[in-house]
Structure 1
Amino acid sequence: MPSAHEPLQEAVIRCQLDAGVMSALGGIHVFPQLDSTNRWALQQGQCGDVCLAEQQTAGRGRRGRQWQSPPGVNLYVSLRWCFGQVPEHLPLLSLVTGLAVAEALEDCAIQGHGLKWPNDVYYDGKKLGGILLEAVGALEQIVIGIGLNVNMPAQAGRGIEQPWVSLQMASGKLVDRNHLAAAVLNRLLPRLQGFPGLDMVQFQRDWQAWDVLDQREVRVLSGSDLLEGLASGVDHRGQLRIKLKDGLIKNLSSADVSVRI
């Protein structure tokens, strides 16, 4: 059984990686504290490098929001990945990363979770984790950042302004962070390797299987526009499809979405 503060260890993670994943990765760098694993990967990482930190002092979420990062209980991991050229479906990369994370959680015996467009992991209507992608100058190089609430106690998240949950809360037991990190990499690397030849039909099927918004009445804030309608999956560019009350379909590339109660 893992302890609440069992440290992240490169050797323990490596020994749980699939052979093909091992050969595709560069270094696995584990730090006791960083301002941001994404920033380290952007500034110092090489293609295939993985960066993990026990704590982040300036972790970031979507739209520049701060990501709460108490020490020793969560998973903060960033991967610098280099494609040979800019992939045709690059806007879908955040969603494909989400699929890998959802599958990795299932591999770790977590159930009941899903994905909230565009880049959040949810459980029972509460945020479990998030994904942040940043380009390294040229778009063929991307840093993929993943943050997951793992064994974080309730009191550590008092400053979080939205409903949240940890894997421990969801599963009722402590989760081994080294095993989780390896599971994420084992799912993410094959999806990245296959991304330039993405099968769009299969992708949309996979997304629908994990989509927590699908066929739900939602309220959408897009810029200064407030829309209400039925969430209807994503299109071939990863845009959220909303069926408005008049029957028209609106495709959104960026928006804040909430489920109507």
Structure 2
Amino acid sequence: MSFTVEPLSASNIGCHLDTATVLALHGLYVFPEVDSTNAWALQQGVCGDVCLAEQQSAGRGRRGRQWQSPWGANIYLSLRWCFTPVPEHLPLLSLVTGLAVADALEDCAIHGHGLKWPNDVYYDGKKLGGILLEAVGSQAHVVIGIGLNVNMLPEAGAVIDQPWTSLQQISGQSVDRNAVVAAILQRLVRRLQDFPCLDMAQFQQDWQQRDLLQGREVQVHSGRESLQGLASGVDHCGQLRIILHDGSIKNLSSAEVSVRLGM
């Protein structure tokens, strides 16, 4: 099965954006290939710049993992954003970004997906996308990287070492990446503008609705330590709450753990 590739286009994306999003952004750059959209935004971007690429030669995920980035199939997007002053709840930004992506997918008529703490988008137990945040200097500048499988064919993702899916597989048809990018930017910019005055109660409610781990038995690996317990949402710092088998509660940060669903 093959699909026509519609190239990414700054002008096409711009036609889908509302005025508020256009005014909030600085530049929208689309490249045939970069080593990493995050790297470009870190090294060359300014506040409000968006970097997109048809292909990444050195795409990266969390913990230095490689992000598979075949040409013309997916979305590789990075946005450089600036906060003045830096919000105390900045650790929640990755989760809030995930909420923006999840909302944007619903805007594009995709349903049934959810978020796997701390920064993965899943559908039917398979990875659909991921988020990587990198701070610049004092953390006033943050680069928000989003990778989303859109029209990637099975052979292109054969080297991926975990179950994955794409918007094309979910919908059964080729998906317009320009429209999806615009939907993501609109939802993301709105949440970024509201982030300094984040409504914590509303955030908790939004996260609970998307949380794929909530109430599930999970196994957590942190260094040499291995824990099992019941996932119980996130705290005000975005840490995963685990109720251990002895009844005690442990809060875990995204920097120190990986999570696997328990048997």
* TM-score of the superposed pair, with normalisation by structure 1: 0.98
Deviation at 1:18, TM superposition (A): 1.3
Paired with 1:18 and 1:150, the residues of 2 have a C-alpha distance of 23
2:236 equivalent to 1:259: no
Alignment partners' CA distance in 1, 2:119 and 2:128: 11
Alpha-carbon shift at residue 148 of structure 1 (Å): 0.2
Distance 1:125 1:224 in 2: 26
Shift of 1:4: 3.2
Question: Aligned AA for 1:153?
Answer: L
Check conservation: 1:220, 1:226, Cα contact below 8 A: yes
Question: How far apart, CA to CA, are the structure 2 residues paired with 1:85 and 1:145?
Answer: 21
Aligned residues: 259
Cα deviation per residue 1:179-232 (whole Å; 9 max; x = unaligned)? Answer: 000000010001000101001110010000000111001111012110001100
Structure 1 runs, 4 residues or longer, greater than 4 Å off? none
Partner of 2:196: 196
| Whole-angstrom distance in 1 between the partners of 2:55 and 2:130 | 16
**Match in the other structure for 1:181:** 181
Separation in 2, partners of 1:70, 1:251: 37
Other-structure match for 2:118: 118
Q: Structure 1 CA distance, aligned partners of 2:253 and 2:244?
A: 16
Contact 1:4 1:151 in 2 (8 A): no
Residue identity opposite 2:249 in structure 1: I
Indicate the SS of the match to 1:111. Answer: coil
Matches of 1:206 and 1:18, distance apart in 2: 23
* Conserved? CA contact 1:240–1:251, under 8 Å: yes
Residues 6-85 of structure 1 mapped to structure 2, 5 A cutoff: 6-85=6-85
Deviations 1:14-35 (A, max 9, x none): 1111111110100100000000
Post-superposition CA distance 1:145-192 (Å, at most 9, x none): 000000000011111111111111112121110000000001000100
Equivalent-residue separation in structure 2 for 1:173 and 1:114 (angstroms): 21
Unaligned runs of 5+ in 1: none
State the Cα RMSD in Å.
Answer: 0.7
Quick one: distance in 2 between partners of 1:187 and 1:127? 21
Report the residue type matching 2:258 in the other structure.
D
Q: Distance in 1 between matches of 2:55 and 2:249?
A: 42
